């Protein structure tokens, strides 16, 4: 289960709150946008450019532009994602 809530999309920045269910495995992703993910609640495994890291509440993950990444949810979580530039695909979807 994925639930996204766009909190802000002004200037060149976008803030998105994402709720993910335990056991969720995201698609392998790659986009031109820079991204910072802040773990508000829960526990996730981020794989960024082949490097895996376990994150819990209060941790952050930076994802550079055009770098392959994936998330696996170890405990139900809430993530705040910041993107630049704004992801038009999320605004439309």
Q: What is the pTM of this model?
A: 0.94
Among 5, 47, 54, 41, residue whose Cα is nearest residue 27: 47
Confidence check: pLDDT of 1 > 90: no
Return d(Cα 67, Cα 86) in angstroms, integer.
17
Nearest to 46 by CA among 66, 19, 15, 24: 24
Phi and psi for 35 in degrees, rounded to 5?
A: -145, 140
pLDDT at 92: 87
Examine the pLDDT at 93 and tell me if it is beyond 90: no
Total number of domains constituting the chain: 1
Q: pLDDT of 48-79, one tens digit each?
A: 999 999 999 999 999 999 999 999 999 999 99
Query: What tens digit of pLDDT does each residue of 9-50 get?
Result: 999 999 999 999 999 999 999 999 999 999 999 999 999 999
What residue numbers bound the domain in which 72 lies? Answer: 2-92
- The confidence score (pLDDT) of residue 70 equals 98
Q: Read off the CATH number of the domain in which 67 is found.
A: 2.60.120.10
Q: What is the mean pLDDT of the chain?
A: 96
Q: How many CB atoms lie within 10 A of CB 86?
A: 17
Going from the C-alpha of 16 to that of each of 8, 31, 49, the distances in angstroms are 7, 16, 22
Complete DSSP assignment for 12-29: TEEEEEEEE-TT-BPPPB
Residue 79: what pLDDT? 98
């Amino acid at each position: 289960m994925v639930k996204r809530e766009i909190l802000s999309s002004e200037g060149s920045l976008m803030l998105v709150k994402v709720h993910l269910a335990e056991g969720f495995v995201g698609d392998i992703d790659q986009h031109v946008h820079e991204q910072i993910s802040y773990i508000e609640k829960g526990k996730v495994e981020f794989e960024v450019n082949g490097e895996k890291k376990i994150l819990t509440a209060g941790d952050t993950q930076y994802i550079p532009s055009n770098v392959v990444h994936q998330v696996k949810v170890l405990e139900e979580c809430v993530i705040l994602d910041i993107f630049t530039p704004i992801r038009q695909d999320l605004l439309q979807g």
